Amino acid sequence: MHFALEFPGSEVRDVTADGDVLRIRLSAASVRGADGERGWLPGVTLRLASARSTGDAPQAFGRLADGELRLGGRRITPVSLTGELSGALELVLRFSNGSVLEVRADSLELSVAEGARFAPDLSC
């Protein structure tokens, strides 16, 4: 099944840097299926190459209040899982704890861990 990532409500597990590669691992990604069904998907990773970040990286964890991805200045919505984007990327994540992480990068790879299972949102 094809899913689109929705930043609000997603949970960031951690943000790690290895040279100029920044990885943002989500413990629970808020997603919407092609049929419109909303739910959760574990094990989603955003890998940004040639990344430069600003903000409070040590506090960049927990629930996202909002987020925005831009490519060449144009907002990307929906954000498709899985896939790759190349070009002048800007990612801004606003956390419920008040922290903001801004990343500029040349490429973004979105992946889902093997065996990750979709859990439908059962809220009323």
Instruction: Dump pLDDT digits (tens) for 62-107.
Output: 999 999 999 999 999 889 988 899 999 999 999 999 999 999 999 9
Evaluate whether 102 touches 48 at the Cβ level (below 8 Å). Answer: no
Model pTM score: 0.93
Give the pLDDT confidence score for residue 2 in this predicted structure.
Answer: 85
Please, where are the H alpha helices in 24-123? none
Asked whether the CA dihedral 91, 106, 25, 30 is positive or negative, the reply is positive
Q: Which of 32, 33, 40, 51 lies closest to 104 in space, CA to CA?
A: 51
